[in-house]
Structure 1
Amino acid sequence: MNRQLTTFLGFMAGWIGRRQQLVIDYLLEENRVLKEQFDATGKKLRLTNAQRRNLAIKGRKLRWTQLMQYANLVKPETLYAWHRRFVQLKYTAKTKVKTAGQSRMAAIRELCLKFAVENTGWGYGRIQGALSNIGYTISRTTVGNILRAAGIEPSPDRGKESNWKRFIRTHLSVISVADFLTTEVWTLRGLVRYHTFFVMNLARREVHIAHIDCQVNGQVMAQVARNLTDAEDGFLKGMEYFICDHDALYTHQFRNTLKSAGVDVIQTSVGYPEQNGYAESFVSSIKRECLDRLIFFGEKSLRKAVSEFVKHYHGERNHQGLNNQIPFPQAPRTKGCDGLIVKSERLGGLLNYYHRVPDPDEPPENREEVPEAA
C-alpha cells in the first residue's frame, strides 16, 4: 500500500512539475514576443517604480543562473541594481514632492508666523489683511489655526510677553554694551595681566576703549563712568541703556553715576553670556585676529595693538551684522573693477585691507564717494 501511494505521489509531482514548466515556457515565449515588438517599433519599455520594485523583489529570490535563463525584459544586472536602490531608499530620507497648493499653503503658514512674531499687536484680522495685500486670501479661522498649531497665543496675550531679542532690536539705537578682556603682558616685574574695558554703540558698531590698565578697582571704574557720561563728549551721550554682566567692577557707584546721567544699567542673567552677544563677539574677534597672535612687552605695545585693531574694526573690516558693510569706511572706493588694487597693512601685516585707488584720469562722476558714518 505504501509503495503504491509513493508511486502515485511521485507521478502527481512529476505531472505538476511538467505542467508548471509548460506554463513557464508559455510565459517566457510571451515575454519574448512582447520584447520583439518593442524592439521592432523602437520604443522602450516604460516601467513604474512599483513595477520595478516587484520585479526586483521577485528576481532577487532567484539564482543568477535562473535569471540568465528566464529574465527577458531586463538584464539580471538591472534587477540587482533596482533591488539595491530600493533597499537604500528604505533607510534614507524621502523627499516629498509638494503640489502647487501645498507650496502655497506652506508660504502662507510661514508668513503668518513671521507677521505674528514681528508684530505682537496684530490680531487674526490684521494678519489676514496683511496677507491679502500680498496676494494671499484666507479666512481668519485659518490664521488662528496656523498660529495655535505653532503655539503662538492671540494678540492680547502675545503682546504681554517680550523677549530679549525683540528688546534689543527695538531699542538698538539707544543701547550700548560693555565688557572686559584680559591680556598677559611681559614687564620688568614679569608676566602681568592687563584689563581692557570697552564700550560699544550697537547701532553704529562703534567701539570705545574706556580703560587699559593692570590695576582696576572701584575708584578707577567710578572715574571711567564719569568720563563716559560727560555732558560734552561722553561716549554714552544720547544712550538710554547700558548692558553688562555681573562683574564686581560694575560697582554701586559706577551704576549710580550712569543712572544719574539717564542711562539705565541692565545686567545680564548669570550664566547667559549670549545676552551680551555683541560684546562677546568683539572680544572673540580681537583675540582671534590680533591679541592671541602677538607677544606683548610693556603696556605701550598692548595699547598700540588694541588701538590699531579698533581702527581696523571701524574703517576696514566688513561686518556681517551690517549686511557685510564697513561701519566707517575711510579708503576711497571706485565703481566696477577699474583702478589699482592697494593693500593697507596694520601691525606688520597682521591686519590687512584691500581697496582700489581711483584712476586720476577717470571722470569724477564715475567715482563713488565714501558715505559718512551714520
Structure 2
Amino acid sequence: MLRKGFSHASLNICHLTVDLFRFLRGFLQSKSALAAENLFLRKQLSLYQERQVRPHRATDATRLAMVLMAKLFDWKEALITVRPETFIGWHRKGFRLFWRWKSKRIGRPRIPEDLRGLILAMARDNPSWGQARITNELLVKLGIQVSPRTIQKYLLTDPNGSRLRPDPSHRWMTFVRNHAQAMLACDFLVTVTARFQVLYVFVIMEIGTRRLVHFNVTSHPNAAWTLQQFREAISDAQSYRFLVHDRDSIYSQELDLGVKAMGVKVLKTPFRSPQANSYCERLIGSVRRECLDFLIPISEGHLRKTLNVWKTHYNQGRPHSSLGPGLPEPGHNTPVPIQKHRYQLQKGYRLKSKAILGGLHHEYWLEKIAA
C-alpha cells in the first residue's frame, strides 16, 4: 500500500514537471506558432467530441495544472473536457488545501495519538488521579516525559470533544470489587408450573465467591417472607457488611430495617439500572439457561427439589470463569495440576462422572486407581 501511494505521488510529480516544461517552451515560440498549435489541438478535441468519447478521470496533477494555468487567461471559453461547476470545485478544493497548509499550528507539536489515549485511559481507570500523578507515573515507570500542563490540556476533553468525566459505573464496580467478600446480592425470578401457577424464586448470592447462599420458592412473596429468608441465610458467624437489591416494592422500609438489625447495610440500586446488580442478574440468567429452560415444574415442591440439586451443582461442581476458573465450594473437586502432557490424564487415575438432573449436566473427576 505504501509503495503504491509512493509511485502514485511520483507519477503526479512527473506530470507536473512535463507540463512546466511545455509552459516554458511556449515563451520561446512566436505568437503565430502558439496560435497555430492552439488551433491544431482544438481540432483534435473536436474529433473526440464528435465521436462522444468519454475522457478519463483527471488525476490530481492534471487538476492542479489546469487550475494554475486558468489564472493566465479566460478559461471559460477554452473549457471542454469537464463542466464549469466541476472546474470551480477543483479550484475551491485547492484553495482549502492551500489555507490548510498556510494555517499550520504554531507552538509545540501535539503528542502522539497513542500517548493521548494512554493519558485518557489512566484518567478513566483512576478517577482520583490528577495531572501531577499521571506525570509522575509516566516519568518514573514508563520513562515518558510530559509536562503536567500538557496532560491537563488533554484531560479537559475526550477524543469526541466532550468534557471528560469519571465513569460512575467504574466507581461502583471498584467499590464492589473491594468489598466483594463481605457483600450479598439478591433478586427474584419468575417461573410457571405445568398448571400455569406462577411461582417466585428468591435467590441470595455471595458476590466474592459467586456462591449461591440461599434460595426459596413461594407463590405469594411479601416483605415478611423475604425478611425471613435473610434471617435463614445470614448467620451470626458470617461477617457480611453490605446487601445489594433493587427498588422493588417488596423491599419495604421495615425489611431494610430488619436487615440493618443483622449488622448488614442495604445498598439500593438506581432506578432502571440492572447493571448495578449485574452479578445477581448473571446468576438468574444461569438458573434459566442451565436449569429452568429445560424443564416444566409440576409443583412448588418439585421446583424446590430441582433447584436444590442445581444449587449443589452450581456451588460444588460447576467451574466459574470469573473465579479463575474455579469452584465456589471446591469440596472433593479440588483443582488438578496441569499435566506436563496437556492432552493426557494424570497417571494412576481414572475418569469418573455422574449425571445431574437426569443427565442435563454431568460432573467429572479423577479417582485414584487402587494399586
Question: Normalization by structure 2: what TM-score?
Answer: 0.60
Q: Partner amino acid for 2:221? A: V
Q: Which residue of 2 aligns with 1:110?
A: 117
SS of equivalent residue, structure 2 residue 197: strand
- Structure 1 residues 354 and 145, CA, compared in 2 at 3 Å: closer, same or farther? farther
Distance 1:309 1:108 in 2: 49
SS of equivalent residue, structure 1 residue 183: strand
Select the residue among 331, 346, 355 that pairs with 2:333. Answer: 331
SS of equivalent residue, structure 2 residue 359: coil
Q: Which residue of 2 aligns with 1:206?
A: 211
Distance 2:323 2:117 in 1: 25
Select the residue among 122, 128, 135 that pairs with 1:128. Answer: 135
Aligned partners of 1:291 and 1:305 also within 8 Å = no
Distance 1:238 1:322 in 2: 21
- Structure 1 residues 114 and 343, CA, compared in 2 at 3 Å: closer, same or farther? farther
Q: Which residue of 1 aligns with 2:355?
A: 345
Quote how far apart the aligned CAs of 1:210 are.
3.7
SS of equivalent residue, structure 1 residue 152: coil
Select the residue among 195, 199, 202 that pairs with 1:194. Answer: 199
Distance 1:191 1:159 in 2: 44
- Structure 1 residues 303 and 105, CA, compared in 2 at 3 Å: closer, same or farther? same
Distance 1:244 1:359 in 2: 45
- Structure 1 residues 253 and 141, CA, compared in 2 at 3 Å: closer, same or farther? same
The Cα RMSD (Å) is 3.8
Distance 1:291 1:53 in 2: 67
Distance 1:191 1:161 in 2: 39
Select the residue among 224, 229, 232 that pairs with 1:227. Answer: 232
Quote how far apart the aligned CAs of 1:260 are.
1.5
Question: Normalization by structure 1: what TM-score?
Answer: 0.60
Q: Partner amino acid for 1:335? A: I
Select the residue among 215, 218, 222 that pairs with 2:223. Answer: 218
- Structure 1 residues 328 and 221, CA, compared in 2 at 3 Å: closer, same or farther? closer
Post-superposition CA distance 1:24-46 (Å, at most 9, x none): xxxxxxxxxxxxxxxxxxxxxxx
Distance 1:276 1:111 in 2: 30
SS of equivalent residue, structure 1 residue 306: helix
Quote how far apart the aligned CAs of 1:251 are.
2.5
Aligned partners of 1:225 and 1:254 also within 8 Å = no
SS of equivalent residue, structure 1 residue 138: coil
Quote how far apart the aligned CAs of 1:54 are.
4.8
Distance 1:110 1:328 in 2: 41
Q: Which residue of 1 aligns with 2:91?
A: none
SS of equivalent residue, structure 2 residue 209: coil
Distance 1:214 1:289 in 2: 22
Distance 2:234 2:321 in 1: 30
Q: Partner amino acid for 2:254? A: Q
Post-superposition CA distance 1:200-252 (Å, at most 9, x none): 111111112242222333332232233334324xxxx3122111112232233
Q: Which residue of 2 aligns with 1:314?
A: 315
- Structure 1 residues 327 and 208, CA, compared in 2 at 3 Å: closer, same or farther? closer
Distance 1:125 1:351 in 2: 54
Q: Describe how 1:112-191 pairs up with structure 2 within 5 A.
A: 112-132=119-139, 133-150=141-158, 151-152=163-164, 163-186=171-194, 190-191=195-196
Q: Partner amino acid for 1:254? A: L
Distance 1:160 1:311 in 2: 36
Q: Which residue of 1 aligns with 2:258?
A: 257
Q: Which residue of 2 aligns with 1:268?
A: 269
Quote how far apart the aligned CAs of 1:159 are.
11
Post-superposition CA distance 1:84-134 (Å, at most 9, x none): xxxxxxxxxxxxxxxxxx9x9344333322332333332211111111212
Aligned partners of 1:196 and 1:209 also within 8 Å = no
Q: Partner amino acid for 1:108? A: L
- Structure 1 residues 225 and 361, CA, compared in 2 at 3 Å: closer, same or farther? closer
Distance 1:287 1:310 in 2: 13
Distance 2:275 2:169 in 1: 20
Q: Which residue of 2 aligns with 1:78?
A: none
Aligned partners of 2:213 and 2:233 also within 8 Å = no
Q: Which residue of 2 aligns with 1:278?
A: 279
SS of equivalent residue, structure 1 residue 177: strand
Quote how far apart the aligned CAs of 1:164 are.
2.8
Post-superposition CA distance 1:155-177 (Å, at most 9, x none): xxx69998433332333232211
Post-superposition CA distance 1:246-298 (Å, at most 9, x none): 22322332211111122111222232222211111111111122112102223
Post-superposition CA distance 1:332-363 (Å, at most 9, x none): 524323324544421122123445x266499x
